[in-house]
Amino acid sequence: MLYIIGLGLGDEKDITLRGLEAVKSCDALFLEAYTSILPGISRIKLGEFYGKEIIEADRGLVETKAEELILERAKKETVGFLVVGDPFGRATTHSDIVVRARHMNINVEVIHNASIMNAIGVCGLQLYNFGMTVSIVFFTETWRPDSFYEKIEKNRKAGFHTLCLLDIKVKEPTMRAMMKGVEEYHPPRFMSVNTCIEQLLEVEENKKQNVYNGSTLCVGLARVGTSTQKIVSGTMKELLDVDFGEPLHSFIICSDEIHEMEKEYLEFYKVE
């Protein structure tokens, strides 16, 4: 049996009662630890709360050893795969595990929870007014991807808001690790709203198609679903210098066609 269990967005207590019952029935628990995190909550703390040892499933394990370490075990035992947010709220990785498990005739049960894809409505923008979601990844000196630009353009032409999911880098191997085969990683990095805006404006400056600009109304969000969540609405230029604090951050580019109720709600979060 393989349970894929959503943990929600806040802390160890956000798991559903059904999810907790499944956790307690498992012989082994794996925590997917590279597409998202629970802010300030470690694997050890989760294990203490659930009364179970939890194995960290980093990118290497999930992408190259999942069949060997997780799925083969699930043929004989009850295995739980823990996912921050909802199992299908963000990463295709989780769909791939379900497909492989079913090909191996393993019983799979998915237990849902809140994810950033629905909790984003806390800012007052209505979920059915959102278009395609985009991912914004860290630029490097030699790689500055802008494939998101076309999707934002389509959303704005159709009168939709755009949710931007911001990059996280966890257990990314160093160049020395890749060249010499040693276990060495860069420190974790989490994209901020500020970096996201800088990169968006750089792409607009290069494209010059006026899809958005410094005066476009947006919403910056941090730690959604936690007791310290922060939400600020304002133009890109206004939000550029706002301190959103610790990760995780998300960003919304608003449509130019904002409903009156949405406008009224966003006033509660207007930048000072």
Distance CA 86, CA 12 (A): 14
**Is 115 flagged in the annotation as binding?**
yes
The dihedral region occupied by 249, where left means phi > 0, alpha psi between -120 and 50, and beta the remainder, is beta
**Is 249 flagged in the annotation as binding?**
yes
**Is 31 flagged in the annotation as binding?**
no
| Residue 86 CB-density burial (10 A; 0-12 exposed, 13-18 middle, 19+ buried) | buried
Dihedrals phi, psi of 130, to nearest 5 degrees: -100, 145
Q: How far apart are the first and last CA of the chain?
A: 52
Q: Which residues of 57-75 are buried (b: 16+ CB within 10 A; e: fewer)?
A: bebebbeeebeebbbebbe
What Å distances lie between residue 157 and 188, 210, 248, 257, 263, CA to CA?
36, 11, 29, 10, 19
**Is 17 flagged in the annotation as binding?**
no
Question: Contact at 8 Å (CB) between 211 and 201?
Answer: no
DSSP 150: H
**Is 86 flagged in the annotation as binding?**
yes
Paired tokens of 267 = 């006033």
**Is 224 flagged in the annotation as binding?**
yes
Residue numbering of the annotated binding site for S-adenosyl-L-methionine: 9, 86, 89, 115-116, 166, 224, 249
Residue numbering of the annotated binding site: 9, 86, 89, 115-116, 166, 224, 249
